[in-house]
Amino acid sequence: MAQPLPRTEWPFSPVNVTRPATVRDVRTTAPAARRAAPSHAVPADGTVPGAEAAVVVGIADHEVLVRGGIRAALERAHGINVVADTGEAGAVLEMTLRHQLGVLLIDSGMAGTHGARVTRAVRRLSPSTAVVVLASSPGGSHLDRILRAGVAGCLLKSGNPQDLVAAVRVAATGGAVLYPEAAKRVLDSVARIDTERVERARELIRGLTHRECEVLALVAQGMANSEIGRALHLSEGGVKAHISRLLTKLDCGNRVRAALIAQDAGLTQGLAADPVRP
């Protein structure tokens, strides 16, 4: 007969668990009533048939006690069905596909193995599964790679059970959940990319003459050569010559790319007129 483990501090709340008689890479459980009932295939959307659809959840974490604490927190919630858990990275994909998980909760270290390879494999082979990463600390070298792997969320293990339950439900409906540090990294990354693109565009524009800037601004507005010529009192040949030179200076091969550079530099809105129009 299995013996209860001593009361332990869990990442979410204190619970008592029973050590399983046998330990396997993937542990699958189901209520007694479901075991006795005829089996049904789980739909691709990650829900199980019944009076009220439940979110089908799997847990992947190296630590047995952590998995038990997470499972206990979720099993107390209405409408969430924890069907399996594993402590082996190599068993995550099999568990996901076998149970057609609606939500996969996975440890950040496991998800981040070899550049989030596990997470990417789940997203590729089971696109209906929302992957939520559980991190032990706010930082971590894996976080940036994990966020780029297509996860639906990232939570701290030190969070409370209510946040975990809410995150599972949000992820199951296509939403995204991030703890503050992760959200800040996403916003910082977007801001950094935008800033770098704008600065690069403005630097390129500085190499143009005043007339070339005027031509480029009208190109960015979608004007044809004849329209640009009429607006600036130039011949079509003159417009073509200006466009050819500005494309060379901007190091871009077509008008569309040139128009994007003009927009990034604020040329079409009349922004930064002094620095971009010599």
Lowest mean pLDDT, pick from 33-42, 120-129, 193-202, 268-277? 33-42
pLDDT at 46: 44
pLDDT, tens digit, for every residue of 217-249?
Answer: 998 888 888 889 999 999 989 999 999 999 999
CATH 3.40.50.2000 is right for the domain spanning 26-178: no
pTM over 0.75: no
CATH 3.60.40.10 is right for the domain spanning 191-276: no
pLDDT, tens digit, for every residue of 127-139?
Answer: 999 999 888 876 6
Task: Specify the domain boundaries for CATH 3.40.50.2300 within the chain.
Answer: 26-178
User: Phi and psi at residue 176, in whole multiples of 5°?
Assistant: -130, 145
CA proximity to 143, closest of 95, 109, 104, 180: 109
Question: 183 or 106: which carries more pLDDT confidence?
Answer: 106
| Alpha-carbon separation of residue 225 from 116, 191, 251 (angstroms) | 49, 35, 20
Task: Specify the domain boundaries for CATH 1.10.10.10 within the chain.
Answer: 191-276
Q: What is the DSSP string of 41-80?
A: PPPTTSEE-SSS-EEEEEEE-S-HHHHHHHHHHHHTSTTE
